[in-house]
Chains A and B, each alone.
Chain A
Amino acid sequence: MKPSFRKKLTLFTSTLKLSACTFGGGFVIIPLMRKRFVDQLHWIDDREMLDLVAIAQSSPGAIAVNASIIVGYHVAGVIGALISALGTVLPPLIIISVISLFYRAFRDSLFVGLIMKGMLAGVAAVICDVVLEMAIGIIKQKRMLPVMIMIGTFIANCFFKVNIAVIILCGGAVGAADMLFKNKKGKTGKQN
């Protein structure tokens, strides 16, 4: 079925709005996207959300842009990807173009500084909320390996600043090995 014009328009306005609200680094778009595309529009599910973050994270470029491109592709193919990329890029393009005219005044503004200080705490709360929900989802699978990967990655990334490419490769390799091992066991199990 061809995605309707209406759906494409929703895709554009959604990515535009989300991008305009992505303060405090690329990861902030994850809880915002989850609310919009998983909870409200039901275009993707929670697992796909994590998968697309993994793809966005392991590709070059900004996480917010990459994640939008995948959602757009999923909703309306290549055209959808272009629409959502445009929607994500426009807000910073417009905002910075305008601010560059008076950027020193903006940078030194006490008013903006105080709003940002409060907002940072809000952003931290939003990220923590989504992490808690996602971590509970992983723990509820009742399997040791995912929980161990989660804890191991957290320690590696947070305390030892291990390169993200290394983490992605390790996580993928462990997952693949686990699946191969399970398949083998499943096959021999059937033969017996």
Chain B
Amino acid sequence: MIYLELFLSFLQIGLFSIGGGYAAMPLIREQVVDLHGWLTMTQFGDIMTISEMTPGPIAINSATFVGTQVAGLPGAIVATLGCVMPSLVIVLALAFIYYRFKGLSIIRGILSGLRPAVVAMIASAGVSLILMAFWGEQSLPADLGAPDPIAMILFGAGLIVLKKQKINPICVMAGCGFLGLILYSVI
């Protein structure tokens, strides 16, 4: 029963990927390429690339892609459902606990310790994005001398517009995409 297999596979991916998309990648590969052979390694590389070019979480994108390839649209829906199910159960339980007990001093203490840590983790994600945008690499490149000038201009302009105009971030992202297309094709 292919639908059940898809569901259970992505249920495991959803359940064991803690900490975002890049943590999910090896899990997805294990299930989809090594264990079930639903995708070849090349196809797996393709879907990872496409995930970076389209919106949405890597795990959901992979679930949809694998599901479609293996069993059409119903397969995509079943795999996505499996992927989201653990989140739904666990996050709902935590949300319930949070809104019920957030007044307790011990919970307030835990949360006050977590807030600065969360800001730092988002900052860390921001640093990887800057490295990606300026140098095209995830980690600090050996040669810091050659950042992408167009990316730097777009980044600076975006930041200024966000600070001064209080504009919707979606507009900044779309604007940079549009300007990127023009600037990169002209220069």
Contacts and interface: CB of A to CB of B under 8 A. Distances in A.
Dominant SS among interface residues on chain B:
helix
Nearest to A186: B105
Nearest to B72: A97
A138 B114 CA distance: 11
B61 A92 contact: yes
B92 A73 contact: yes
Contacts of B127: 158
Contacts of A93: 60, 64, 76-77, 80
A47 interface: yes
B50 A74 contact: no
B116 A61 contact: no
A123 B115 CA distance: 22
B114 A126 contact: no
Interface string B86-112: 111011101110110010011011111
Interface residues of A, number: 105
Given A92-B57, A93-B64, A134-B122, A146 B80 contact: no
B40 to A, nearest CB: 13
A51 B115 contact: yes
B32 interface: no
A21 to B, nearest CB: 5
Interface in B127-171: 127, 129-130, 132-134, 150-152, 154-159, 162-163, 168-170
B87 A112 contact: no
A153 B86 CA distance: 27
Given A96-B64, A123-B129, A150-B116, A91 B18 contact: no
Given A122-B154, A178-B113, A154 B46 contact: no
A123 B173 contact: yes
B53 interface: yes
A157 B127 CA distance: 11
Nearest to A127: B126
B37 interface: no
Contacts of A58: 18
Dominant SS among interface residues on chain A:
helix
B126 to A, nearest CB: 4
Interface in A80-128: 81-82, 85, 89, 91-93, 95-97, 99-100, 103-104, 106-107, 111-128
Contact of B56 (A91, A103, A157): A91
B14 A60 contact: yes
B65 A114 contact: no
Nearest to A131: B123
Contacts of A23: 54-55, 173
B26 interface: no
29 contacts: A23-B54, A25-B129, A32-B169, A50-B119, A59-B87, A60-B16, A60-B17, A60-B87, A63-B57, A65-B57, A65-B84, A70-B91, A92-B61, A93-B60, A100-B65, A113-B53, A118-B180, A121-B158, A122-B174, A125-B176, A129-B162, A134-B122, A149-B113, A151-B120, A164-B23, A176-B113, A179-B106, A179-B110, A180-B109
Interface of A: 17, 19-27, 30-32, 35, 47, 50-66, 69-70, 73-74, 78, 81-82, 85, 89, 91-93, 95-97, 99-100, 103-104, 106-107, 111-131, 134-135, 138, 145-147, 149-154, 157-158, 163-165, 167-168, 170-180, 183
